[in-house]
Amino acid sequence: MIVTVVCDVLGEENNGTTVAAMNLIRSLKAKGHTVRVLCGDEDRRGEEGFFIAPKLNLWPFNRYVAKVGVSLAKGDPKLIAEAFDGTDVVHIMTPFSLGSKAMKVAKQRGIPVTAGFHCQAENMTAYVGLNKIVFLSYFIYGFLYRHFFRYADAIHYPSAFIRDVFESSIRKTTRGYVISNGVNSSVRREHVEKPAEWRDRIVILSVGRYSREKEQDVLLKAVNRSKYRDRIQLVLAGQGPQEPYYRSLAARLPIPPMFRFFERTEIGNMFNCCDLYVHPAEMELEGIACLEAIKCGKLTIVSDSKLSATHTFAVDERCIFKHSSPKALARVIDWWIEHPEERAVCEARYAASGSAKDQAVCMAEMERMLQEVAHEAAA
């Protein structure tokens, strides 16, 4: 097949959408398909198969976009038409400026389209502090359906959770494929010693972009409330705009937390040497980092937020805390620290749960989705 992947967001592999896009692109190429990529990432200019669209000017939000390390592209009909020449199927990652224009061009030319659902409405409203106004999320989902997703021949949902949220919001059933973005095979359960300076410490790991909806601040406050605060080494793996605020909270802790973005080759070691993994996010489409911790057999603590898929991964109700509550999280952390034997049993249950799907399997499912849509259009 000739597949064109349209990416409004592409840049460093430091966010879920870019990682998902690049995993798909690499997988399809490895299987012998011709892959074209339409995006706004200037660093890719000149690379074979990449069509570089002009950057979208967001005016007051330009600094924020640059800070989180992504590029946003603007739709150029002429460039889109060039990228689509001879294409069997188009996969659009997000329904923003470039994705929306690409959808219109594809439909005009009779090219089948699959669309990824990587944009939770609550993430958008959280940025402007309006995520507590519920009807706004319904409005956004309705807008996205009417102006974009209803034109797709199939929709890729990374989790059943977000499919159900979207379909209940628009009150329609879609042609949806629930396919996890998958856990990289390099992340697996193995014995890894803690660094020497951490041998006598309780290592708590959390992975995610430093942003409001990920709520690392709740974890920092919970550690400060813990009975074991003098022994806890907190590792916040990631980067993002909330880092200055998080560092101000970290200054209250007796053991300075580690703030760092880990490369893919390093993060597996962190999962395997930590004692507890905590995913405090209030909003999460899928939560690949949480699945990676589970694949490594780590005691994984998640929030009970109805806006996050991660609460569905818990194998024990004692692994769930009331979202946005440092006090509740501190209580859960302390209980598991004090019950190492039960923790070992629960870790084995996580490892055997099957929640974490292998990335290679997931990419094969993505390929089948694209092939089915392409074959239907050609029939």
Instruction: Tell me what pLDDT residue 16 has.
Output: 84
Q: What is the pLDDT of residue 294?
A: 96
Looking at the structure, tell me whether residues 252 and 313 fall in a common domain: yes
User: What is the predicted pLDDT for the residue at 71?
Assistant: 60
**How high is the pLDDT of residue 125?**
65
Beta bridge partners of 337: none
Selected residue with higher pLDDT from 347 and 71? 347
Flag whether 128 is in a domain: yes
User: Is 203 in the same domain as 296?
Assistant: yes
User: What does each C-alpha distance from 310 to 29, 176, 305, 357 come to in angstroms?
Assistant: 31, 20, 8, 14
Same domain? 24 vs 72: yes
Residues 71 and 35 in one domain: yes
Q: Residue 187 domain-assigned?
A: no
Q: Which residue has the higher pLDDT, 26 or 12?
A: 26
Dihedral sign (CA 343, 348, 353, 356): positive
User: 367 and 293 in one domain?
Assistant: no
Closest CA to 20 of 84, 90, 75, 91: 91
Across residues 108-133, what is the average pLDDT?
Answer: 80
Convert the pLDDT of each residue in 147-158 to its tens digit. Answer: 999 999 999 999
User: In this predicted structure, what is the pLDDT of residue 317?
Assistant: 97
More confident: 50 or 121: 50
Amino acid identity of 283? Answer: M
Q: List the single range of 70-84, 210-224, 274-288 with lowest mean pLDDT.
A: 70-84
Beta strand residue intervals within the chain, DSSP E: 2-7, 9-11, 34-39, 50-52, 70-72, 89-92, 113-116, 154-157, 176-178, 202-207, 232-237, 258-260, 276-279, 300-303, 320-321
Is 189 a member of any domain? no
Number of neighbouring beta carbons within 10 Å of residue 309: 24
Range name among 67-71, 78-82, 213-217, 269-273 with the lowest pLDDT average: 67-71
70 and 131 both lie in a single domain: yes
Same domain, 177 and 267: no
- Residues 10 and 53 placed together within one structural domain of the fold: yes
Determine whether 316 is exposed, middle or buried from the number of CB atoms within 10 Å of its CB (0-12, 13-18, 19+): middle
Same domain, residue pair 13 and 138: yes
Average pLDDT for residues 182-194, to the nearest whole number?
92
In a domain, 73, yes or no: yes
Residue 215 has pLDDT above 80, yes or no: yes
Q: What is the pLDDT of residue 343?
A: 97
| 230 and 166 together in one domain | no
Give the per-residue pLDDT at 265. 80
pLDDT in tens, 291-340: 999 999 999 999 999 999 999 999 999 999 999 999 999 999 999 999 99
Per-residue pLDDT band at 356 (split at 50, 70, 90): confident
- 252-285 tens-digit pLDDT: 999 999 999 998 888 999 999 999 999 999 999 9
Record the tokens describing residue 320, joined without a space: 């769930």
Residue 10's pLDDT is 86
Quick one: 164 and 245 in the same domain?
no
202 in any annotated domain: yes
Q: Residue 273 is part of which domain span?
A: 196-352
Closest CA to 56 of 40, 69, 43, 74: 74
Q: How far apart are the first and last CA of the chain?
A: 15
Q: Are residues 171 and 216 in the same domain?
A: no
The number of CA neighbours under 13 Å toward the Cβ of 90 is 32
The answer for residues whose C-beta is within 8 angstroms of residue 215's C-beta and 6 or more apart is 280, 281, 282, 303, 323, 324
Higher-confidence position of 250 and 11: 250
pLDDT band of 135, cuts 50, 70, 90: confident
Residue 71 maps to which CATH number?
3.40.50.2000
| 61, pLDDT greater than 60 | no
Out of 128-132, 183-187, 345-349, which region has the weakest mean confidence (pLDDT)? 128-132
Kindly report the backbone phi and psi dihedral angles of residue 178, in degrees, each rounded to the nearest multiple of 5, phi listed first: -85, 105
Question: Looking at residues 204-221, what average pLDDT do you find?
Answer: 95
Q: Residue 190 falls within a domain, yes or no? A: no
In a domain, residue 367? The reply is: yes
Which pLDDT band, with edges at 50, 70 and 90, does 56 fall under? confident
pLDDT number for residue 168 = 96
Q: Model-level pTM greater than 0.85?
A: yes
Q: How many domains does the chain have?
A: 2
Is the pLDDT at 59 greater than 70? The verdict is no
Mean pLDDT, the chain, rounded, equals: 92
